[in-house]
Chain A
Amino acid sequence: MQWLDGLVQGVLLGGLYAQYALGMALMFGVMRIVNITHGDLMILLALTGISLAATFALGPWTVLMVLVALGAILGLLLQRLILNRVVGADPLPSLIATFGLSVALQNAMLQVWSADTRSLGGGDIAQASFQLGTLYVGVLPVIVLATATLLTGGLDATLRYTRFGRSLRAASADVEAAAMTGVNPKGVYAGATAVAVAILGFAAVFQSMRATVAPADGPFQLIYAFEAVIIGGMGSIWGAFLGAMVLGISQSIGFRIDPGFGILAGHLVFLLILALRPQGLLGKD
């Protein structure tokens, strides 16, 4: 019973991780860049949302809309001011640039919001739950999972069927060839970063409703997103979703074996997959 509960809670936790992982998979697929501020931007959005909600007495869904819009703007700025200058075959400049920004962001947030953990009041939804057989399942985690599924499906459909999606896929296959056929790489990169950070707006609201956020949490979220992407298979959007589920389940089961073992179990499953199936669960050989 305990294990079934662990499995269900793990899948629900995976819904949250999927929302971190989607943007990372998208940005890496298109630009071959890993944005180390990925987790810190999520925390920045979450803390901004909590302050907005407290100052203007906004409900969580209004905050969500504001944060998604704000995320898109932040993404565009990040692309315009920093990533455009470091995108290229050499991974060092983009890693170091975003690494420096990450250290700066974490400490700036520490100045503004102090080291306290905060959360966003979700009203009745945050506490509501329903019974499923012998298990109790929270309403909010189910909403999170449903949102993650919709986001994944939506992103996948965008990549498959829209003009923007086609140019994204063309740029990720070969950026120079794509430029020759009329795709503007800078426009595509800006679009991908904006979408990736906008998705973090969803993650920010749900993370701060489900749990707590503190300025130093960013690197952990970055690592979870990364592990989900690698477990699922680089370059696959549904792979990132599946990887997030595997990671969520591993942590949830590990946590039930020993509370000190939860996060570690997630890392170990990641390393195991890397050893046995380095192309990821859905990756092609």
Chain B
Amino acid sequence: MTDALAAASTTTFDGPRVRVQRRTTSSIVALILSVVVLVAVASMPLWASQGLIRDIVRLCCYIAIAQMWNMLAGYAGIVSVGQQAFVGVAAYMMFIIAQLWGVDPFVAVVLAMIAPALLAIPTYGLLHRLDGPYFAIGTWVIAEVMRLATSNFGYVNAGAGMSLRVMTGYSATERAVGISLLAALMLLVTVGGSYWLLRSRYGLALIAMRDNPIAAASQGVNVSRLRFLIWVAAAVGTGLAGAIYFMAQLRITPPSAYDPNWANIAIFIVMVGGLGSLEGVIIGALIYFFADRWFGQYGATYLVVLGLLTLFMALFARGGIWGLICKVVDAPWFPTRRTLVEERQ
């Protein structure tokens, strides 16, 4: 097919010769910076204090969870307000595998990813029967079911929660090395993986689906299958962030694991940063992270402002801050566009 097209364009097509351009100067700079950031995160024990490592791991978890929500809402057209179900189930699975079954905690983080995947499959099977907005509330019910079930489940110490005592087998330095490598891996999988997906053939299908699912289906995109795959992948990515977050915390309880605030954070980051763009998630996560540090002490008032800001963005600036920036300068960090450029002869 591609060969035939290429042949056609060289033999019968008399117009200007064209090529598809995907890289821009800004994207090359961003790519180099991304590699630098990844290396910096992975090598944190060499240059950062314990407190700073904890903060950066937290920021990485926010970015991962928000990016997964962005893939759902920004591309697959699925709005979930119950992502905490996957945060909690993966983190609890990690605690079970490491603390109760005696597997190495760093291996357990990877093994635990089976739990969010297994939860996501039947969840989608049940909820996809519901109309758009009702799907969202349905995800909330799933998260509540998980929270209540965990609170009644004696094997994981019910409502009292668990501690990751096996981590005492490692020295503080070893723990810092492990968690830094995991955080870098998480960024690579969630942000890098999303970027790779969006640039692939599937990316074209996803963007078509975002713009108009019915038109995309008529062009041969299997919309329902793609939605399902994104749903499961987002569950695993969200779960990975949850497992790493609670590994750093060393302690887990049902209310903290299944905290609706996880969904609040993801929604705030994506809506303020910019829906449907990787750049937006990074901007939003940085804003949330620093707002939380500087204004978190104001508690409820601060959350009122966050809520109103989300409302304001949904009403007046649906593209978020990145959308506003794009109106002024066109310098994407992670371009997914294909631009047709005329070759000079």
Contacts and interface: CB of A to CB of B under 8 A. Distances in A.
Tell me whether A and B are bound partners: yes
A270 B79 CA distance: 20
Given A85-B315, A92-B79, A32 B133 contact: yes
B132 A91 contact: yes
Contact of A108 (B133, B271, B304, B312): B304
Contact of B267 (A96, A111, A271): A96
B31 interface: no
A100 B308 contact: yes
Contacts of A93: 314-315, 318
B310 A99 contact: yes
A226 interface: yes
Interface residues on B, range: 35 or more
Given A99-B310, A104-B308, A34 B133 contact: yes
Interface stretch (A127-135, A191-199, A258-266): A258-266
A103 interface: yes
A76 B73 CA distance: 29
B32 to A, nearest CB: 34
Contact of A107 (B129, B137, B148, B300): B300
Interface in A8-56: 28, 32-34, 36
Given A101-B307, A270-B141, A33 B133 contact: yes
Interface string B51-89: 000000000000000000000010001010100000000
Interface in A147-195: none
Contacts of A121: none
A103 B126 contact: no
Interface string B111-153: 0000000000000001101111110111011001100110110
Contacts of B152: 258, 260-261, 264
A107 B131 contact: no
Contact of A96 (B129, B144, B149, B314): B314
A107 B303 contact: yes
Contacts of A275: 126
B79 A96 contact: yes
A278 interface: yes
Contacts of B145: 264, 267-268, 271
Describe B's contact surface by its main secondary structure: helix
A111 B307 CA distance: 14
Given A107-B303, A226-B141, A264-B148, A91 B311 contact: no
A59 to B, nearest CB: 32
Given A222-B137, A226-B141, A270-B141, A103 B264 contact: yes
Interface residues of A, number: 46
B136 A95 contact: yes
Contacts of B304: 103-104, 107-108, 111
B50 interface: no
A260 B153 CA distance: 10
Interface string A123-144: 0000000000000000000000
Most chain A beta-carbon contacts within 10 A, residue among B77, B134, B260, B311: B311
B301 interface: yes
A85 B318 CA distance: 12
A260 B127 CA distance: 25
Given A96-B267, A274-B126, A104 B303 contact: yes
A104 B133 CA distance: 20
Contacts of B312: 100
Interface string A105-122: 111101100000000000
Contacts of B149: 264
B315 A234 contact: no
B104 to A, nearest CB: 33
A86 B314 contact: yes
A207 interface: no
**Which 7 A-B pairs give the minimum distances between C-beta atoms?**
A100-B310, A104-B307, A103-B307, A91-B132, A100-B311, A34-B133, A97-B314
15 contacts: A92-B275, A96-B79, A96-B313, A99-B310, A100-B313, A101-B311, A103-B307, A108-B304, A222-B137, A226-B134, A226-B138, A226-B141, A261-B152, A274-B127, A274-B129
